[in-house]
Structure formats: C-alpha cells, structure tokens
A and B are shown apart, each in its own frame.
Chain A
Amino acid sequence: MSRNLLIRLGSTMVTLFGVALIVFILVRVVPGNPIAMMLPPGASDADIALLTAHYGLDKPIMTQFWIWLGRALQGDFGTSISLRQDVMSLIFGRLPATLELATLALLIAMALGGALAITAARFRGTAVETGIDLANGASLAMPDFLWGLTFILLFGVLIPVFAISGRVSPTLDLPFVTGFYLIESILRLRVDIFLDLMRHMLMPALALALPLAAVIAQLLKTSLKEAMQQDYVMLARTKGFSETRVLISEALRNAVIPTLTLAGVQFTFLIGGTVIVERLFSYEGLGNMAIDAVINRDLPLIQGIVLVFALIFVIINLIVDLSYALLNPRLRHG
C-alpha cells in the first residue's frame, strides 16, 4: 500500500511538472503579447525592449521556464502583471470561494441524483422511471452556463428570490478570518450571513450540479437495478422487508461504490466548469479570475491558476483511487 502511495506521489510530481512546462510554453506561444497590450501611445522601440525585459520576456522560453521553476520551488510564483500582486496570495485568496461553490454543487448533485436514482429504481419499469430518464436527458443536454442563464431569468428576474451576481451582499460586513465564508458562517452561527451566501450561491451551484446530478442518477439507477437482482436482495425480500427498505438498506450499500468513484472524478470537471459559471454570476472565485488573466494575457497568473487547478485534479484523483481501494474489499485484499 505504502509503495503504491509512493508511486502515485511520484507520478503526481511528474504530472505537475509536465503541466507546468506545457502551460508555460503554451501561454507564451499563443497569440497575444502582454507587452503589446500595455504599450503607451508614444512608446519607442527602446521603451518596448525595456518593458519586455522588465517582465523577463526577453529571454528564450526555456530559460524563462527554468528561472520560473527555480523560484516556484521556493514558493515564489511571481507577480501578476495586471493585478501587480503576488500570484499565490491572489490565488489562495480566491480558491476558497471556488471550493465552496464546487462542494455545494457536488452535494446538491449527489442528493438530487441519488434521490432520482432511488425513485427510478423503486418505480422501475413504470412511467416514473421514464419521466426521470427524460429529465436526466434534458439535464445533460443543456450545458451548465445555459442552466445558469435559465435560473437568472427565472429566479433572478421573474421571481427575484436569489441574487444574480456576486458571492455576498456588498452591504454586509463580514467578521470572517478565512475565505471559507460558508463554513465560517455556520461555525459562527451567523444565520443572516449564511442565508445571504446561499442566496448568492444556490443558482450557480444548481447550474453546475444539474448535469452532474443526471450522470449520478443514471449510473446509480443502473447499479441499483443490477443489485436488486442479486441473491442477498432476494433473501431480504423473502424475509418480508418492503421493497423500499430492501432498496435502501440492502441494494444501495453495494451499488453506491461506483457512483462515489464517479462523483469524485466528476468533481474535478465540476471545478473546471466553475470558470464559465463564475463569470456568468460574477462570483468572485478562481474561475472568474482565470478569465480576466487570459484576457489580459497575465502570464504568471495564468500559470499559477492552471497549476493550482492541476494540483486539485491530481489530489482528488489520488483521494478517489485510495478511497476506492478502501471501500472495495476485493481491491483492499488484492
């Protein structure tokens, strides 16, 4: 087990190095020079050369990369060109907002997907299952940002229950010390702030959650239906348990493992999906910042954000693999 873990950690480092190198080269060879974007009207060739040198962009790309890597290994990921602040403090300032949104979306997706799967499995072969399948199809057919737009029109404009933009009302003064507002509001029992946060977060979270909920519902339903054919389920039935109890107490326990694995993997895609949804809802997360960084060709910030996203992906995949091994007895003893 520990050998496997070491191998995984080693491969993680290689993956991160590969991502860092590819992104570093890509953002420098794609069209759009950050220096050209900040040139004053009267800039001379000497001014352009000075500015290019100031940002270290006058050296060959690989030289730039080794300089960046050397500094990054010491924790210095550079200074944002557009925001003129330390890249990592900017990223870690915004990361909690994105993690909270993605986690809320995942919880909604699991609750919704789970409920739909159980209902469909309970009423398998009936119009209820067909209806749920159709709803799942519709959820999958629409991308998250379109769900977001729909929610904005429905619950932001027509029935204005939720806030259209932002993470928290600008009029509120937050007594928090971390960026995890939702968690802190719960820990500090600040119901007013919690409700305000939910009023801002529910629409983007639901937009992110719906497509994932459909995937979870489909997979879990299939697993449940298979489990319902197993001998131990038949045994439970012969004991006189109700169909619902058999489904939840017996079948669900075994059927849920592949779904949990999928949910873990999908969480990484969900974090990727926050980029567009955060922009749509003007949510102050990492995704929103990533778009600005790309528009402004803020090379150090793009590099830092992509690396942090990659790190999150790798860590989640690692956790999923390890949990799967722990949850599945066949792998544990194998």
Chain B
Amino acid sequence: MTTSRRDLLKIGALGGAALIAGFPGAEVSAQGSELTIAYNVNLPSWDPTVGPSAVNPTIQAIYQSVFDMYIAQNPDLSFAPGLLTKWGWNDDKTKVEMEVRDGVTWHDGSPFTAEDVAWSLERAGKPETGNPIQFVWSKIGNFKVDGNKITADVKEFEPVLFKWMSFLTGYVLPKAYYEKVGAEGFEKAPIGTGPYMMEKFERNAFVRLKANPNYWGGKPAFETVIIKFVPDSTSRVAEVESGSSQVTLEIPYDEFDRLKAKDGLAGITTPISDIGMIFLNDIDVMLDKNVRLAAHHAIDKQLIIDRLLNGYGIPIDTLETPQYAAYDASIKVGYDPEKAKTLLAASGFGPDKPVKFKIQTTKGFKPKDYEMIQAIVGMWRKVGIEAEIEIYEIAKHYELRAADTLAPAAFYNWGNAIGDPTTSTGFAMFGPSPHSVWDSKDLIDMIIPLWGEKDETKRIAGWKAVSKYIAEQGYVIPLLQYVQPIIHAKSVKVTPHVSGALLPALMSPA
C-alpha cells in the first residue's frame, strides 16, 4: 500500500483539527468554587520571615493567604484580633503581655499553641536566622508561656512593636513542624494557620491554594484559588480579557478604564498605602531653603494626576496619607508658581538665570514615573529651575540611597502598610537611617526622642510636628498617594485592602 501526497495532506489536516479540537479553549476558572488571579509578581520563597522576599510588600498577600500574622489587619488598616486575641504592655512598659487564640489548628491538623508564637518571636529576633526586621523583634525576649498567655521582657521600648506584628515578617510559623522538616522541607511544603493551604507550587508559574476548612475565621468562599504569576502587565490584561483569570491588579490606567467598561468585567480603584515622592539630598543647591520650597510650590500635582494617571491618585503634602495615624490635614504646601518665582528670586535665580541640578528617576517601575518627572521638570523650567533627568534602575536607587549619594533630587515610591509615622516619615527622613538622604541635625534632633516615646498621644503629636517642620523647611517633596486599580469578573466580589494586598480571602462569588 502506498500513501499519496493527498493522503498525507488529509492526515495532516485531520491531525491539526484534532489538536485544535483537543484544546479546551480558554481556561474557565470562575466555575463555582474556583478562582484564578493573575498576580504581578513571582513568589521567590515560602518562608515569610527571612530573606529579601520577606520585605517585599507585594508578596505579602500570598503569604497572608497561607500564614496568619500575630495581629490581623482590617482592609482599612485598623488592627483586629488574629492569632493574638489580646496584646499590650504592662503599666511601666517593661513587659509585653499577649493572649493566644484557642481552637486553632495548623494545616497539618496539629494544634496551634502559645509555644508557636513564643518560638516565632524568639526566632525572628535572632540575627542568625536572617530576619530583616530582626532589629524590631530583638527588642523583646525572655518569653514565658502559661497556657494561652505569653509574657516577655522589654529589652528596649519599641512603640510600634505591636503594629509590626501586622507587618513585614510578622507571621507565626509552626514550631514543631519547622523543627521537624527544617528550612528546606518547609520551603517545599509550607504550612500555616491561614485561610488557604498551599496545594501546589510551580516557581515562576503559579501557586494553587485550597481552602482551609478549619480556618478560625471561617472557611473562605472559594474552594480553590489559583494565583498565576504574570509579571507582564499586557499579559495580565489579556488574562482577564480572555476570561483565563478573574481578577488582576496593577495594570495601566488606560487599560483599566477600557476593561471596566467591558461586559462581564468591573473595576475598583482604592487609594493605598503607597506614595510617590521626590527625595531631596542635603547637598549642592538643595542646601538653599528657597530652592527646595520653590521646587515644591512649582509642582501642580493635581494636573499631573489628571493628565498622566487618568485622575487616579491623591495629591499629598506630607509623607502621611489620610489613612495614617499621624496624618494632619492642616499641613499644606500648595501649588503656587508665583511664590516659587519669588523664593528663587530671593536666592538670585529666575527663568533667565535658572538654578541647576540633577533629578533621578526610574522609568516604568511605577506607573508613568518618568513621564511625571518630565512634567515636573517642565513646570520647574517655568519658574527658573533647570533640572537634568537621569534615568536609573530601582536597584541603582537602593544602592545610591544606602550610600547617601543620590542626586540632589530623586523620585521614589514609599509604602507603609501599617500607617505608622515611624515607617513612613521616620525611616524616610531620619538621617542615620540607610533609607534617608536628608541628614540635617535639626531634623535628627527632632525625631530622636520620638523613637522611644511611651505616650502614644504625645508620640503621634510629635510626628505631626515633624511633618509640619519638614513641609516648612522643604526637606522632601511628597507628590501623590497611589490608587490601586483592580479589574475583576462581575461574578467575583472583591474587597480591596488599603495596604495594597490583594487577598483571596476577601473575595467571594458575587
């Protein structure tokens, strides 16, 4: 028997058709109890308390799905009982007292105990474990467990200690299980007490989560949650548009507006605890207060938000947003180009004799970052500031900032998911911090007493005063509070979290 070319062609055509027919078409994951989320970052590691990923704010939503924090945080950033049902200081603030929730089990069915909390806190405070927030956790020690109660000695008073228990590395890990399987075993099969259990993990691809039927906060709405790691925003848009994923975030605002108008899709925008700002370094022309203030007054922040970010953003005058504990609405700097000109003139500068400096920015790291700086440089030019733009990678920014060698002006974004002033104004503006580049003694002297202030009212008032002083002196240029765009299928109800964490446990069928 011979096979003719015609036969071969027929076989080829049939094979091709069979291949196409065999494809189930677009993945449909919004079926009943299954949810697929196209997430914008990869998950590098499963231990939420060590290594660089532990301090990556974007990854926390995945960690919070599997692990519980010591203290829970509501979507509006307020704190709520979590694995700790009670927490506080003794009267003279020399001890911490905590009470642990009863009836909680780990994902392997073993009981969660106060020993787990004490062990997790003790481990986090040891430098050799590599916890990046060890400098906070090491301030308490000598843990004593009595039933579901824990006490510990305060080695150094840290007013934000309990807020950190809802923040980076503030997770409770299973003592017995971790000691049994070790770091490597835990990486392969992590367990927590969180709303979801890790079922399958393919690095750089996806994680498949299964609802924890015994979750102390009630079984989550979706039985299975698939989080696909899709770092490219174009691909995330396509994922949602094709129906392959039901929820995604961090897409360009233009695409957000287009997608939310489509049938079957809806959009949510939430102001989150992430701001855009311009660091000023206390070098060269930035030592001149008039130049600093002029640079601030010359920026029309609302115009930038309207034109470049489709209106998604909120102008800010300090590093504190309305959701933060030390926000003071009375502190205003304001757009005033005439005042900017007057200030510059007082220092001998003007449109004909511009003051010159360099501004550094990332390009594409945050939405329209480079375009914003271009617009700002244009606004500055009108009042007599000639800024040269230098584009760098975010890694370079970190390096320069840690070495205190940033240019006189440098764009950056700053997150603060617990809304405390120490983790925004504090670390950004306190000279000795590796994250600050403004080192003037006046500001350092003003901030130092606040680190250990035991009276919370006085502490918050102190930080408000610091913010006011910074605004008056023009030590930094706060630009805007970011708004997070979330696109989702109308069949899914999504509750956004002001921290920016896209939490599957806050989603349910609509």
Q: Which residues of A contact B (CB under 8 A)?
A: 31-44, 47-48, 50, 81-85, 90, 93-94, 149, 152-153, 156-157, 160-171, 173, 191, 195, 198-199, 279-285, 288-289, 291-292, 295-297
Asked if B8 is an interface residue, CB under 8 A from chain A, the answer is no
Residues of B18-45 contacting chain A, CB below 8 A: 19-20, 22-27, 29, 34, 36, 38, 42, 44-45
Interface contact A39-B238, CB-CB below 8 Å? no
Who on chain B is nearest to A161 by CB?
A: B23
Residues of B246-274 contacting chain A, CB below 8 A: none
Chain B interface bracket (under 10, 10 to 19, 20 to 34, 35 or more): 35 or more
Who on chain B is nearest to A282 by CB?
A: B230
B342 shortest CB reach to chain A, Å: 37
Interface contact A164-B204, CB-CB below 8 Å? no
Residues of B contacting A90 in the complex (Cβ-Cβ under 8 angstroms):
203
Interface contact A83-B45, CB-CB below 8 Å? yes
Interface contact B238-A166, CB-CB below 8 Å? no
Binds A, one of B104-112, B291-299, B389-397, B477-485: B389-397
Q: When A42-B135, A296-B52, A297-B395 are in contact, do A157 and B238 touch as well, CB less than 8 Å?
A: yes
Residues of B contacting A82 in the complex (Cβ-Cβ under 8 angstroms):
44-45, 51-53
Asked if B464 is an interface residue, CB under 8 A from chain A, the answer is no
Q: When A170-B200, A170-B206, A282-B228 are in contact, do A39 and B396 touch as well, CB less than 8 Å?
A: no
Interface contact B55-A31, CB-CB below 8 Å? no
Q: When A83-B45, A195-B19 are in contact, do A165 and B423 touch as well, CB less than 8 Å?
A: no
Task: Give the distance in Å from the alpha carbon of A173 to the alpha carbon of B206 in the complex.
Answer: 13
A137 shortest CB reach to chain B, Å: 26
Residues of B385-403 contacting chain A, CB below 8 A: 392-393, 395-396, 398-399, 401-403
Residues of B contacting A35 in the complex (Cβ-Cβ under 8 angstroms):
402
B224 shortest CB reach to chain A, Å: 8
Interface contact B235-A152, CB-CB below 8 Å? yes
Contact partner, B395, options A33, A50, A191, Cβ 8 Å: A33
Q: Which of B51, B205, B426 has the most CB of A within 10 A?
A: B205
Interface contact A152-B204, CB-CB below 8 Å? no
Q: What 1/0 mask marks residues of chain B from 33 to 73 whose CB sits below 8 Å from any chain A CB? A: 01010100010110100111101000000000000000000
B197 shortest CB reach to chain A, Å: 15
- 12 further A-B contacts with Cβ under 8 Å, apart from A82-B44, A279-B232, are A34-B395, A40-B132, A40-B134, A160-B243, A163-B244, A191-B22, A281-B235, A282-B228, A282-B232, A288-B204, A289-B203, A289-B204
Interface contact B234-A39, CB-CB below 8 Å? no
Task: Give the distance in Å from the alpha carbon of A248 to the alpha carbon of B244 in the complex.
Answer: 44
Residues of B contacting A165 in the complex (Cβ-Cβ under 8 angstroms):
38, 228, 230, 235, 239, 244
Q: When A36-B399, A167-B205, A282-B204 are in contact, do A31 and B393 touch as well, CB less than 8 Å?
A: yes
Asked if B148 is an interface residue, CB under 8 A from chain A, the answer is no
Who on chain B is nearest to A286 by CB?
A: B204
Interface contact A83-B135, CB-CB below 8 Å? no
Nearest 6 A-B pairs (CB), nearest first?
A32-B395, A160-B26, A31-B396, A284-B205, A36-B402, A41-B427
Q: What 1/0 mask marks residues of chain B from 5 to 22 whose CB sits below 8 Å from any chain A CB? A: 000000000000001101
Asked if B226 is an interface residue, CB under 8 A from chain A, the answer is yes
Q: Which residues of B contact A (CB under 8 A)?
A: 19-20, 22-27, 29, 34, 36, 38, 42, 44-45, 47, 50-53, 55, 127, 132-136, 183, 187, 200, 202-206, 208, 224, 226, 228-232, 234-235, 238-239, 241-244, 392-393, 395-396, 398-399, 401-403, 423, 426-427, 432-435
Residues of B contacting A33 in the complex (Cβ-Cβ under 8 angstroms):
395, 398-399, 402
Q: When A152-B234, A161-B23, A195-B23 are in contact, do A40 and B239 touch as well, CB less than 8 Å?
A: no
Contact partner, B239, options A36, A37, A164, A292, Cβ 8 Å: A164
Interface contact B242-A164, CB-CB below 8 Å? yes
A224 shortest CB reach to chain B, Å: 19
Interface contact A31-B399, CB-CB below 8 Å? yes
Residues of B contacting A169 in the complex (Cβ-Cβ under 8 angstroms):
27
- A sample of 21 cross-chain residue pairs with beta-carbon separation below 8 angstroms, ordered by A number, consists of A32-B393, A32-B395, A32-B399, A36-B395, A39-B435, A40-B134, A43-B135, A82-B45, A85-B187, A152-B235, A153-B238, A160-B243, A161-B20, A164-B235, A164-B242, A168-B205, A170-B208, A280-B234, A282-B229, A285-B204, A292-B44
B171 shortest CB reach to chain A, Å: 16
Interface contact A163-B231, CB-CB below 8 Å? no
Residues of A contacting B241 in the complex (Cβ-Cβ under 8 angstroms):
157
Who on chain B is nearest to A285 by CB?
A: B204
B32 shortest CB reach to chain A, Å: 13
Task: Give the distance in Å from the alpha carbon of A177 to the alpha carbon of B432 in the complex.
Answer: 52
A305 shortest CB reach to chain B, Å: 13
B253 shortest CB reach to chain A, Å: 19
Contact partner, B136, options A42, A149, A160, A297, Cβ 8 Å: A42
Residues of A contacting B34 in the complex (Cβ-Cβ under 8 angstroms):
171
Residues of B contacting A295 in the complex (Cβ-Cβ under 8 angstroms):
395
